[in-house]
Structure 1
Amino acid sequence: MSLVEVRVEIPSAEAEAVNELLLEQELAAWSVFEDVVVGRAWLIGLFPDQTAARDAAAALRPLLPLAAQAEPGYREMAESEWRDSYKTHFHPWQFGRLHWVPVWQRETYVLPAGHHALWLDPGLAFGTGNHETTRLCVERLVALADEFGTAGLVVDAGCGSGILALSAAKLGFRDVVGFDNDLEAVRVSEENAVLNELNGQVRFFVGDLVSGLKDVQAQVLMANILADVLIRYASHLVQAVRPGGVLILSGILATEVAQVRAAFGQEAPDWAIESKTMGDWSDLELRRPAGVLEL
């Protein structure tokens, strides 16, 4: 299989801002690559054919004026070349007993006893999880798995490629679901479940933050989304957590976390709230007091 790479040079000083825009606009096919030695940066996307590549580049221009200032370069890549290019950028990552490992190391990676690996195949179908927003969620999830064991429902709201839901299953949670309002995201999540031999163990479906959370009472509810969306649906997210359960919010710029915290503090004034920051991003963990289940 061959792929088409689209490469657009951007000012290196704008690389972080472009990265944030990609996250905000959910442009998962694009990544920012920097060469700090020469002080240059590129916006790079991989697509299945020339038509898809050119359509994606055209759609990007109105969203990112910086990309409109340079003419995109198009290059066909053999699958082997594409995979080799990713190997230089993607390495295993561990937090606690959970390891994220590139699938090409499946036969050689040494996993300590009692630890678990989520196999990642970066590129069109699976993000690497390297963004701070995802890592913040996973650090919380590992700690909660140690606290709760395998009990309770875990929900990944806005699951994207399924990396958080699949991580929960790897950590031992037996009841895990993920949903997204994008049918393609759900399809990719299901493919990644197969890659990790978790098909049938994690359920993915199409839904939004209203329909996807209807009648849900989660032990752990994760939402790695944008701050304004979290605020808009704060009541739905709060109502979907069972007594004694935990709500993990991410996708929040550090400059916005106080605003999000205030919004959820109004919806859940008696919940314990704490926050962590990684780079330019913050999370929130909210714990609902144990008590009688509201009907």
Structure 2
Amino acid sequence: MAVFELKLEVSLAAAVAIEELLAEREEQRLMVLEDKPAARAWITGYFEARDEALEAWSALRADAGTIELPASEPEVRELPDADWKNSYKAHFKAWKFGKLNWVPVWEKETFALPAGEAVLWLDPGMAFGTGNHETTRLVVERMVSIAGQTGTAGRVIDAGCGSGILALSAVLLGYRDVAAFDNDAEAVRVSEENAVLNDLAGRVEFYVGDLVTGLAGRQAELVLANIQADVLMRFVNELCASVAPRGSLVLSGILSQELERVREVFAAVAAGWRVESRVMGEWADLTLTRSS
């Protein structure tokens, strides 16, 4: 069966806006790839027919509004089976923070793990995240810092686990009681596969749930939620209620221009909690810590 790859390089600013648009449209055929070290980004997708690829691009351009897309048309080319399965690999690189390393699985034979450090092997495939995005990095870096300050004796909940990167990283940090859920059963399946890939099967309780059912009856000393800002604000009560005394809630998926609004919404519910935030590129995190 022929596979056609659509690909067009865009600015990093456009990539951020396009990701938001694709999420709103629940678009499954197109995606944004980013190479942060090189400061480059692409719109890409894989289709069974050339016309199908061009139709998807036309629909995206029609919905783009004020997003500054290149004037040029995307390249659409037919790929041999082996090529399309491996074409995404060029966009993903190993990265680390503290003593944790996140490394594409195809580098397993060549990657030299420094003594005393841990590695999470990642296979993005066509739907699996690598953590290259700032939203994931903000949470990972915050989680590593919290573990260094308070230890890893507490419970962890990863709300909206996606590919399982955050939950499995928590295990590598030393957390023993880790739960993670997503409202997409496919995300939960991929997360479980990635646990197997890293010999961590059974170390995380992965399950299907939303921000109501997934958090019902649960609390943790560390709650992670890398989700869109509007969703975070809509479920502010559920998220804050899931944080155990003296625990922390780490939020990401927040555009920097949305940060103050998100802070206001959560501060109104979490009165008296310590609030911290950072900005990375065009994204921000927000961490709230209960005093009691």
What band does the TM-score fall into relative to the shorter chain?
0.7 to 0.9
CA distance in 1, matches of 2:103, 2:161: 19
Tell me, yes or no, if the aligned pair for 2:273 and 2:290 is still in contact at 8 Å: yes
Match of 1:192 among 194, 207, 224: 194
Alignment of 1:81-96 (within 5 A): 81-82=83-84, 84-96=86-98
User: When the two structures are superposed, what TM-score results if normalisation uses the length of structure 2?
Assistant: 0.84
Q: What amino acid does structure 2 have at the position aligned with 1:106?
A: K
Identity in percent: 54
For 1:43, give the aligned amino acid.
I
- Point out where structure 1 has 5 or more consecutive residues left out of the alignment: 291-295
Query: What is the deviation of 1:150?
Result: 3.0
Partner of 1:143: 145
Q: Give me the whole-angstrom Cα distance separating, in 2, the residues matched to 1:96 and 1:58.
A: 43
Q: Tell me, yes or no, if the aligned pair for 1:7 and 1:45 is still in contact at 8 Å.
A: yes
Partner of 1:7: 7
**Structure 2 vs 1, CA of residues 201 and 79 (structure 1 numbering), >3 Å: closer, same or farther?**
farther
1:50-84 CA distances to partner (integer Å, 9 max, x unpaired)?
A: 59x769768757754689x9877654434643465
- Report deviation, 1:105: 1.3
Equivalent residue number for residue 123 of structure 1: 125
User: Which residue is equivalent to 2:43?
Assistant: 43
Q: What is the correspondence of 1:235-274 to structure 2 with a 5 Å cutoff?
A: 235-274=237-276
- Give the conservation status (yes or no) of the 8 Å contact 1:24–1:226: no
Aligned residues: 285
Cα distance change of structure 1 residues 112 and 87 upon mapping to structure 2, 3 Å threshold: same
Distance 1:175 1:2, change over 3 A: farther
> What is the identity, as a one-letter code, of the residue corresponding to 1:30?
M
Aligned to 2:168: 166
**SS of the counterpart of 1:85?**
helix
Gaps of 5+ in 2: none
- Cα shift readout 1:86-120 (whole Å, capped 9, x = no counterpart): 34322210100111111111122111222111111
Deviates further, 196-205 or 20-29: 20-29
Segment of structure 1 superposing worse, 105-114 or 228-237:
105-114
Give the TM-score, by structure 1 length: 0.83
**Is the 2:162–2:188 Cα contact (8 Å) retained in structure 1?**
yes
Equivalent residue for 1:31? 32
Mean alpha-carbon deviation: is it higher for 180-189 or for 54-63? 54-63
Kept in 1, the 8 Å contact 2:18–2:32? The answer is no
* 2:242 pairs with 1:216: no
Alignment partners' CA distance in 2, 1:95 and 1:209:
28
Contact 1:30 1:46 in 2 (8 A): no
- 1:234-261 deviation line (CA, Å, top 9, x unaligned): 1110000000111000011111111111
Cα distance in structure 1, aligned partners of 2:27 and 2:6? 14
Distance 2:11 2:172 in 1: 40
Alpha-carbon offset, residue 85 of structure 1: 3.4
